[in-house]
Amino acid sequence: MEWTLAGLFLLSAILLTISLLKSNRIAKEEHKQIDLIHISTMKEINALQESIRNMELDMEVVTKDAGIQLSAEDKVLKREVLDLYRRNYSIESIAEMKQVPENDIEQLLAPFQEVKGEGRAAANEN
């Protein structure tokens, strides 16, 4: 009876050791996977930051070449107005939101608005 208890105790100690070793190995593998995911995410973030930096530089080059001098506030206003317009807000509601006259909003959006109806008129002339 004593030998049976000693054998069972020894067997449980061996199984506990094996279990701890396997769980350590699995934890290390999971840690490696997390590290790989972290590295790939950081690479993507760096690529996006580089892309944004390049776009900002391109924007600066284009504005310098075009001779456009806008203040930071004017750039923000123009960007926000264009964003609202592309999200299908009316010119009246944009003017009300930004507390700017509708005429000014129309002038800001003029280069970005598509002329509707001209294609149909040109097609019907022939």
Are residues 28 and 38 part of one domain? Answer: yes
Which of 25-39, 44-58, 74-88, 106-120 has the lowest average pLDDT?
A: 106-120
* pLDDT tier at 122, thresholds 50, 70, 90: low
Are residues 81 and 35 part of one domain? Answer: no
Are residues 64 and 5 part of one domain? Answer: yes
Residue-wise pLDDT for 1-42, tens only, equals: 889 999 999 999 999 999 999 999 999 999 999 999 999 999
Tell me the residue range of the domain where 26 lies: 1-69
Are residues 41 and 12 part of one domain? Answer: yes
pTM for the complete prediction?
0.53
In whole angstroms, give the CA distance from residue 124 to residue 126: 6
Are residues 76 and 63 part of one domain? Answer: no
Instruction: Report the number of distinct structural domains present in the chain.
Output: 2
- Of 69, 84, 101, at which residue does a domain stop? 69
